[in-house]
Amino acid sequence: MEQNNFLVVKTEVAKLQTMYHEAPRSSSFNFLLLGESGTGKSFLLHTARKPIHLDCFDPGGTKNLIELITKGELIPDIRWEDEDPANPSVFREWETVMKERIRSGYFNHFGTYCLDSSTTWTDAIMNQILKSEGLAGQPPRWAHDYVPQKVKIQNWIKVLMKLPCDFILTGHLEGTKDEVTGRLSYRYMVTGKAQVTIPLLFDEIWVCDPKSTSSGVEYRILTQSNGTYLARSRMAKKGLLKTYEEPNIKAMLKKCGFPTEDKPLFKEEK
């Protein structure tokens, strides 16, 4: 009897191990990439696994990515940049398009999916909620509107984390001042308690924290909290990454023993 039980357990363990190693996300990562404008968030995409699909909600967010676009290494979808708060439609259209992309296996052919940025994407969600309540263009009501927005944000991020490629969500920072010490600290800018719950979902929370030097600006990635910024890296906890790293996703993945290979680009046949 004991031997039979062991064989049953062994079979189940083998099945679970196979399921883990064959899962599309077993060799991919998700990143919450935070920082203010001009700190290098978008430029970091040059070092991501390619090809990259970019859903751009930030107006003009692709201007420093022309080289990647020209090479066919980045596929931008900029239809989400323009929204009329009085008659919003962007989030509903994005939601429809994303469901079809996922259903069709679109992301199987990409190394990275980037949503830029959390700030404008969540604004589009709120615009759609207000429209559904007949309040388009008006200020949100706390209990009625922010709670549904938070749920929608969380639900979609969980879906995006299941994509068979790396997932990067860019976001901005919100400062708070300690009343006793007067010290400023910065956290992920998002609705209410989602400021805590959303970061918990991510493997990596990195902050673009450039440093001014005598020779110019030194761009760098903060991987661990330093009292001013909240950052976290499951890779860094193993001692594989330093507190500050050069802004290079592939180099950081390689340090930690993860694959860095790109997938084939969508080049037109001549």
* 40, part of any domain: yes
Please provide the average confidence, as pLDDT, over all residues in the chain: 88
Q: Is the pLDDT of residue 149 over 50?
A: yes
When mean pLDDT is compared across 7-21, 26-40, 146-160, the lowest value belongs to 7-21
Report how far apart, in Å, the C-alpha atoms of 109 and of each of 52, 104, 133, 165 are.
9, 11, 38, 8
Domain range for residue 141? Answer: 28-208+226-231
* 130, part of any domain: yes
In which band, very low, low, confident or very high, does the pLDDT at 268 lie, cut at 50, 70 and 90? Answer: low
Our count of domains for the chain comes to: 1
Two tokens, residue 54: 């970019």
Q: Is the pLDDT of residue 219 over 50?
A: yes
- Gyration radius (Cα) of the chain, Å: 21
**In angstroms, rounded to a whole number, what is the distance separating the alpha carbons of residues 76 and 69?**
7
* 160, part of any domain: yes
Peptide bond into 51 cis (omega under 30): yes
Q: How many CA atoms lie within 13 A of 233 on its CB side?
A: 24
Q: Is the pLDDT of residue 178 over 90?
A: no
pLDDT reported for residue 270: 45
Two tokens, residue 268: 């037109």
pLDDT tens-place string over residues 23-67? 555 567 899 999 988 888 888 999 999 999 999 999 988 988 999
* 254, part of any domain: no
- CATH number of the domain where residue 183 is located: 3.40.50.300
* 255, part of any domain: no
**In angstroms, rounded to a whole number, what is the distance separating the alpha carbons of residues 79 and 209?**
30
pLDDT reported for residue 28: 79
